[in-house]
Amino acid sequence: MEIETSRVAAIRFFADLPEDELAAIAGVASEVEIPSGQALAAEGRLGHSLFAVESGTADVVIDGATVQTVGPGDVVGEMAVLASPPDPFEPPEVAGSGSRTASVVATSPMRLIGLFKRDVWALDRRAPFATQRLRAVLGERRAQDAERVPPEERGQDEQGRSPDSDPLAGSA
């Protein structure tokens, strides 16, 4: 079942995107309903989808501590989905993914718009503003995560740079 463009446009994260990008997102999105108490994502597990919250709330939990509450208009799961490009020969639900950096647990019934990893990466050509925005969120979340980790555990060099390379650099 294809999601209506108006539902995508109603989500604050996507609201001001051009109509053709909203249609591209709606064309690959799926509806997901989650009861209160169910996990959308489990820390350390592979992530194959990202989710935009239409209704409901969830706690973001890292190492057993709630670090944020998300609700309508927020996007979760982008870090694992954007960690590395998908394998084009795998179905979207099993395409190679990055590990989830947090658990996300519904604190109320939720209605979400889900996007598989391969579809997100394919949107790079059809919805460049949307994927640029997702990359910006990814950068913000990486910075927030880095602030939570003591410097001696970060694996930084003398200049404070992480040895991890950014798989998104130059892919736009």
Kindly indicate the confidence band of residue 124, based on its pLDDT and cuts at 50, 70 and 90: confident
The pLDDT, as a whole number, for residue 136 is 84
How far is residue 25 from each of residues 16, 21, 62, 64, 74, measured CA to CA in Å?
Answer: 13, 6, 29, 33, 15
Cα–Cα distance measured from residue 2 to residue 12, given in angstroms and rounded to the nearest whole number: 20
Residues in the chain: 172
Per-position DSSP letters for 81-118, written without gaps between them: HHSSPPPTTS-TTTS--PBPSSEEEESS-EEEEEEEHH
Query: CA–CA separation, 3 vs 13, rounded Å?
Result: 16
pLDDT-based confidence at 170, cuts 50/70/90?
Answer: very low
Domains along the chain? 5-85+94-145 (2.60.120.10)
Largest CA distance in the chain: 52
The SS3 of residue 134 is helix
Helix (H, G, I), strand (E, B) or coil at 9: helix
User: What pLDDT does 79 receive?
Assistant: 80
The whole-model pTM stands at 0.72
- What's the rounded mean pLDDT across residues 79-96? 61
Strand pairing partners for 111?
33, 55
| Tens digit of each residue's pLDDT (9 = 90 or more) over 28-75 | 999 999 999 999 999 988 888 899 999 999 999 999 999 999 999 999
Which ranges in the chain belong to alpha helices (H)? 5-9, 19-28, 78-82, 117-126, 128-148
Q: Are strands 30-34 and 75-76 parallel, antiparallel or unpaired?
A: unpaired
Give 89's pLDDT tier (boundaries 50, 70, 90): low
CB 83 within 8 A of CB 164: no
- Judged by phi (left if over 0) then psi (alpha if -120 to 50, else beta), residue 136 lies in alpha
